[in-house]
Each structure stands twice: as structure tokens, then as C-alpha cells.
């Protein structure tokens, strides 16, 4: 069994997908569609930055989805198919396209709108996120009202989201934590307005039944009902990512290989700390060379 995992914000780097820009007209068309949505030429931002511009939520979200889907198309063209798909936070939009719930173009347009709304709300809140390592024998203290658990990533890692002053105070108490380079308090009640506006906008979109098993962040479980999928994907704008539960559900399916499709290697690390041992192959598909290696390893693994 093959599982495809799609990364979210934090996995990007300036220059990502340079090989796709050089060789793949369909990918360039997808990025051009994203550029039209956000009112900026995203190709030079992706290839040359600067990093501060690339990391702007309104630009980064459609770019990350386009890059992940660009490599996905090459991977499936080489005959590597997924039995189950899941994505972390923003990566869930890539998952929807991978499962056939929406088209590739629709996923990129959704990412553009999502980024626009999140960026707008974040500009009015002095908020951020804090990654915390939970050490053996330690427990998270009671959180203030303006801080919530945004990502339950693993038994040893959570991400808090909230007002910066409160996060700074917690960081001084906790230790073993680091601020994330994000523009706002994602996956928290501070994003309620973005969630409401995204839900209203998404009413015009048609979600289709998934063709591939799909595990959702909001529940950590599989879902086939298109309306529930839309609701859950929308709800995570202001609610937590239950990635540890997603990993538990995936482990129960006993996949032989995990393909991290898109920039970076964040999800591979999270898979290992969530109990996936060396008996499960983790294959990185973050460039076209990775596509070739993935196809070769999949062929060997399938014998």
C-alpha cells in the first residue's frame, strides 16, 4: 500500500520547482492561473524570492499547492499510484486534488482564496505560532485563553497558536520551543472570520466523492461524503490539525511506503516520530529526480 503525503507551509524554499518551470508547460499554466488569482507574477517570486516575499501567505499557499501537484502529476504518469492520501494543513488542498475531489486548478484557486483571507485577518492580529517539544515526564501547562493547540503533530511535538505576547511568556516558561516563521495565529479561533468567509466562498465549489481514500486533519479519519469533506477542510482554518491522529489512522492501514510529494522533508520526520519504523520506506518527491527514484523504488518494492 502506498500513501501520498502533501506538505503545508514551512516546507517551502526559494528556487523550489525550478525543474518544473524549465520543462513542464502544464505546471507553468497552473502557476499562471494562481498568479491571476492573487494579482502577482508568482514565477519569479518562487524562483528568486526574496524569501520574505515568498513567505507571504497570499503568495505561498497557491505556490505550494501548485508545486506539490506538479510533482504529483509526474509521479502518477510514471505509474506510481496512491492507495491513501493526506496532507498537513494547507497540504490538505493538494490532497483534495490528488483524490479527485476537486481539479488541480480548483485546488490552486482554493489555496489562493484561503491565503488571501488568512492574510487579511492576520494583518489585524498580533499573533503567531510556537512549536513545542514535549519531553518525557513533562506536561504542557494550562494555557491562557488567547493561546490554543493548533497542531497536535506527534507524541513529542505540538504547535501553539495565539497572541505573540502570550506565546513569548510561554516560551520563557517552557524551554524546548521555537517560534515559527508564520504571519499569523493559524488554526486558532482568531481565524474565525477567515473560516466564515472561506465557507461562504466555497459554497460555489462542487466537491466530488474521493476516488482514493482520504484522511482529514479535522477528524484524523477517512471521509467519503463530499459535503462533510468541504466542511472539515473549512473548519480547520480556525481549528486544530490532528496530525497525530491522522498518523494513527494511517499506521492501522499498514502502508509499505510513504511518498512525501512536494517541497521539504518535514512530513518524513513527523512520520518517524509517530511510529513509522524502518520497515516503512519514506520516499521524497521534491524534484524530478525524486520522481524517477520514486518510480524505480516503487517498481522494486512491488515485486
Tell the burial category of 141 from Cβ atoms under 10 Å away from its Cβ (0-12, 13-18, 19+): exposed
Q: Which of 74, 88, 187, 232 is catalytic?
A: 187
**Cα–Cα distance measured from residue 5 to residue 290, given in angstroms and rounded to the nearest whole number:** 14
Residues 6+ apart with CB under 8 A from 137: none
Q: Which of 61, 195, 59, 188 lies closest to 126, judged by CA? A: 188
- Could you confirm whether 89 is annotated as catalytic? yes
Whether residue 14 contacts residue 47, with contact meaning beta carbons closer than 8 Å, is answered with yes
Q: Which of 89, 161, 188, 298 is catalytic?
A: 89
**Distances from the Cα of 151 to the Cαs of 83, 204, 248, in angstroms?**
25, 29, 15
Residue in the structure block whose three cell numbers are 472570520: 193
Grid coordinates representing 86? 493526506
240-149-16-21 Cα dihedral, nearest 10 degrees: 20
Residues 6+ apart with CB under 8 A from 277: none
- Could you confirm whether 187 is annotated as catalytic? yes
Whether residue 208 contacts residue 226, with contact meaning beta carbons closer than 8 Å, is answered with yes
**Cα–Cα distance measured from residue 84 to residue 213, given in angstroms and rounded to the nearest whole number:** 5
Q: What is the 3-state secondary structure (H, E, C) of 202-258?
A: HCCCCCCCCCCEEECCCCCCECCCHHHHHHHHHHCCCCCECHHHHHHHHHHCCCCEE
Which are the catalytic amino acids? Answer: 89, 187
Amino acid at each position: 500500500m502506498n500513501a501520498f503525503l502533501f506538505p503545508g507551509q514551512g516546507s517551502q524554499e526559494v528556487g523550489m520547482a525550478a525543474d518544473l518551470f524549465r520543462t513542464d508547460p502544464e505546471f507553468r499554466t497552473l502557476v499562471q492561473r494562481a498568479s491571476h488569482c492573487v494579482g502577482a507574477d508568482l514565477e519569479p517570486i518562487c524562483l528568486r524570492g526574496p524569501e520574505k516575499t515568498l513567505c507571504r501567505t497570499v503568495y505561498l499557499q497557491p505556490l505550494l499547492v501548485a508545486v506539490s501537484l506538479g510533482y504529483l502529476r509526474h509521479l502518477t504518469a510514471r505509474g506510481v499510484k496512491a492507495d491513501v492520501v493526506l496532507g498537513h494543513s494547507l497540504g490538505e488542498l493538494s490532497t483534495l486534488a490528488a483524490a479527485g475531489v476537486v481539479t488541480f486548478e480548483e485546488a490552486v484557486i482554493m489555496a489562493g482564496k484561503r491565503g488571501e483571507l488568512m492574510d487579511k485577518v492576520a494583518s489585524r492580529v498580533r499573533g503567531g505560532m510556537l512549536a513545542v517539544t514535549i519531553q518525557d515526564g513533562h506536561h504542557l501547562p494550562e494555557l491562557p485563553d488567547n493561546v490554543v493547540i493548533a497542531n497536535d503533530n506527534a507524541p513529542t511535538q505540538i504547535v501553539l497558536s495565539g497572541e505573540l505576547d502570550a506565546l513569548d511568556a510561554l516560551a520563557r516558561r517552557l524551554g524546548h520551543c521555537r517560534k515559527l516563521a508564520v504571519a499569523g495565529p493559524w488554526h486558532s479561533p482568531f481565524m474565525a472570520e477567515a473560516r466564515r468567509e472561506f465557507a461562504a466562498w466555497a459554497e460555489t465549489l462542487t466537491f466530488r466523492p474521493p476516488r482514493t481514500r482520504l484522511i482529514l486533519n479535522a477528524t484524523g479519519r477517512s471521509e467519503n461524503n463530499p459535503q462533510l469533506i468541504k466542511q472539515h477542510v473549512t473548519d480547520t482554518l480556525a481549528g486544530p490539525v490532528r496530525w497525530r491522529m491522522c498518523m494513527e489512522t494511517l499506521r492501522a492501514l499498514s502502508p509499505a511506503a510513504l511518498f512525501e510529494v512536494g517541497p521539504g522533508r518535514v512530513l518524513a520526520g513527523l512520520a518517524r516520530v509517530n511510529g513509522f519504523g524502518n520497515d516503512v520506506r519514506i520516499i521524497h518527491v521534491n524534484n524530478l529526480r525524486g520522481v524517477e527514484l520514486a518510480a524505480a523504488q516503487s517498481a522494486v518494492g512491488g515485486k
